[in-house]
């Protein structure tokens, strides 16, 4: 007899009180480094802001309340590829037309948390001032080694392998055809979903084109493409030390970040600030409680090391894979506060582009920073493809 199909099981997590007491004790016992006067954020995370954040994490932050709020999303776990995969699955509410299934892929340094605000806007648009005909069935998985999905015990999975898992997951959920969207590493995963499963992915939406890789003759590139490659290289030199660590020696950093919640905060908070559209004031994009919800997921699941290791796996993807062109209809929303924003010429070189927009606000974490804008971008882009799925 063939093996039975994987069966999703409802997932509810309630953190043990002793785990929170251990966290608070570690936060209160933080041994802080010195910092030059007026260093601010120029050398990394601002020490003064971190002290405020850690103090709130220890004595003001209500994790049980945040955990209960996240539990209001319908969450499941299912065995795929030898790993337990955690995911959100919320069906469209009172749809007024064909329902498009949509899988949303997150990046680093986050998890399903990235899309927590946008799920209700996509599944029940009529309740949020939008057209009920734009409702989606939404699936938001945690990548292996992130959030509440299992950590791989062997080699880390790359974006190609994760895309394969997501295709399997959508099949388990009964979706023969679907849309895909994502940003950061989730942009790569969405790209490989379109490349490797073009018969199932009706369209793909991304908020970035990743870090550019081009092995051809630079003379073949348009001037704006060459300028973008130069800009991306300059960004890597000034801002890319974290990624070099992730790609090469992630276990070294994982020791300190898994042991020290203050260290974990420093590593992640600096990226939340520098990659968001906050004009230097991180709390324009994220409240302290929102930041701490993301950090607490990382802390309790002990996934900072496993999440970083995916960079190493992706760095080993063969150049031939990186050079493939996406022929599935592709859309890009390039938010103004994001990093290394690509020119249209590069997008058209690498994908079958049918729509490119530049929203007025938002950054690398647009789905969390500007959920209404992000939801409208997805509604508008995927609108023509609903009938394709129904047919």
Q: Decide if 6 is inside a domain.
A: no
Q: Decide if 14 is inside a domain.
A: no
Indicate if the pLDDT at residue 14 is higher than 70: yes
d(CA 223, CA 190): 28
pLDDT in tens, 156-199: 999 999 999 999 999 999 999 999 999 999 999 999 999 999 99
Q: What is the pLDDT of residue 390?
A: 59
Q: What are phi and psi of 260, to 5 degrees?
A: -120, 110
Indicate if the pLDDT at residue 142 is higher than 80: yes
Domain total for the chain? Answer: 1
Q: Please report, for residues 110, 130, 132, 268, 335, the alpha-carbon distance to residue 249 in angstroms, rounded to integers and kept in the order given.
A: 20, 46, 48, 17, 31
Q: Decide if 353 is inside a domain.
A: yes
Indicate if the pLDDT at residue 391 is higher than 60: no
The yes-or-no answer on residue 298 being catalytic is: no
Indicate if the pLDDT at residue 2 is higher than 90: no
Q: Decide if 2 is inside a domain.
A: no
Given 192, 311, 374, 385, the catalytic residue: 311
Q: What are phi and psi of 281, to 5 degrees?
A: -105, 100
Q: What is the pLDDT of residue 13?
A: 92
Indicate if the pLDDT at residue 3 is higher than 70: no
pLDDT in tens, 350-377: 999 999 999 999 999 999 999 999 999 9
**Per-residue 3-state assignment (H helix, E strand, C coil) for the chain:** CCCCCCCCEECCCCCCHHHHHHHHHHHHCCCCCCCCCCCCCCCCCCHHHHHHHHHHHHHCCCHHHHHHHHHCCCEEEEEECCEEEEEEEECCCCCCCCCEEEEEECCCCCCHHHHCCCHHHHHCHHHHCCCHHHCEEEEEECCCCCCCCCCCCCCCCCHHHHHHHHHHHHHHCCCCCEEEEECCHHHHHHHHHHHHCCCCEEEEEECCCCCCCCCCCHHHCCHHHHHHHHHHHHHHHHHCHHHHHHHHCHHHHHHHHHHCHHHHHHHHHHHHHHHCCCCCCHHHCCCHHHHHHHHHHHHHHCCHHHHHHHHHHHHCCCHHHHCCCEEEEEEEECCCECCCCCCHHHHHHHEEEEEEECCCCCECCHHHHCHHHHHHHHHHHHHHHHHHHHC
Q: Decide if 30 is inside a domain.
A: no
Given 184, 208, 277, 338, the catalytic residue: 184
Average pLDDT of the segment spanning 52-78? 98
Indicate if the pLDDT at residue 122 is higher than 70: yes
Crossing angle of the two packed helices 241-248 and 304-315, in degrees rounded to 10: 90
Average pLDDT of the segment spanning 121-132? 96
Residue 297: which CATH number? 3.40.50.1820
Given 158, 364, 374, 385, the catalytic residue: 364
Q: What is the pLDDT of residue 368?
A: 98
Average pLDDT of the segment spanning 83-96? 94
Q: Decide if 23 is inside a domain.
A: no
Q: Decide if 164 is inside a domain.
A: yes
The yes-or-no answer on residue 46 being catalytic is: no
d(CA 86, CA 71): 13
Range(s) of the domain holding residue 385: 41-390
Q: Decide if 369 is inside a domain.
A: yes
The conformational region for residue 107 under phi > 0 = left, psi -120 to 50 = alpha, else beta, is beta
d(CA 11, CA 88): 9
Indicate if the pLDDT at residue 1 is higher than 60: no
Is 338 exposed, middle or buried (CB count within 10 Å of its CB: 0-12, 13-18, 19+)? buried
For residue 276, what are its two tokens?
């968001």
Indicate if the pLDDT at residue 213 is higher than 60: yes
The yes-or-no answer on residue 56 being catalytic is: no
């Amino acid at each position: 007899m063939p093996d039975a199909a994987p069966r999703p099981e409802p997932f509810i997590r309630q953190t043990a009180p002793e785990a929170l007491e251990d966290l608070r004790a570690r936060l209160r016992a933080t041994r802080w480094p010195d910092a030059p006067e007026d260093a601010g954020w120029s050398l990394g995370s601002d020490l003064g802001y971190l002290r405020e954040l850690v103090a709130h994490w220890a004595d003001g932050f209500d994790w049980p309340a945040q955990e209960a709020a996240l539990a209001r999303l319908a969450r499941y776990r299912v065995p795929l590829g030898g790993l337990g995969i955690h995911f959100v699955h919320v069906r469209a509410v009172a749809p007024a037309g064909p329902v498009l299934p949509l899988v949303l892929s997150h990046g680093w340094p986050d998890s399903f948390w990235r899309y927590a605000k946008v799920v209700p806007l996509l599944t029940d648009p009529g309740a949020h001032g939008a057209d009920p005909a734009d409702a989606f069935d939404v699936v938001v998985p945690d990548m292996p080694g992130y959030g509440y999905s299992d950590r791989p015990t062997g080699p880390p999975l790359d974006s190609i392998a994760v895309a394969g898992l997501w295709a399997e997951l959508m099949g388990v959920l009964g979706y023969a055809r679907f849309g895909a969207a994502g940003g950061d590493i989730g942009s790569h995963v969405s790209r490989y979903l379109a490349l490797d499963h073009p018969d199932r992915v009706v369209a793909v939406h991304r908020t970035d084109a990743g870090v550019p890789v081009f092995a051809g003759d630079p003379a073949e590139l348009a001037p704006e493409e060459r300028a973008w490659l130069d800009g991306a290289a300059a960004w890597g030199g000034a801002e890319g030390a974290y990624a070099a660590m992730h790609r090469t020696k992630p276990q070294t950093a994982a020791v300190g970040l898994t042991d020290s919640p203050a260290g974990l905060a420093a590593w992640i908070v600096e990226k939340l600030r520098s990659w968001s559209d906050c004009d230097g004031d991180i709390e324009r994009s994220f409240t302290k409680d929102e930041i701490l919800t993301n950090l607490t997921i990382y802390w309790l699941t002990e996934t900072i090391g496993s999440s970083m290791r995916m960079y190493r796996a992706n760095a080993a993807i063969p150049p031939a894979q990186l050079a493939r062109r996406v022929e599935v209809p592709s859309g890009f929303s390039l938010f103004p506060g994001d990093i290394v924003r690509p020119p249209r010429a590069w997008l058209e070189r690498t994908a079958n582009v049918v729509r490119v927009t530049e929203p007025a606000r938002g950054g690398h974490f647009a789905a969390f920073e500007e959920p209404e804008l992000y939801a409208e971008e997805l509604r508008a882009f995927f609108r023509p493809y609903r009938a394709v799925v129904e047919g």
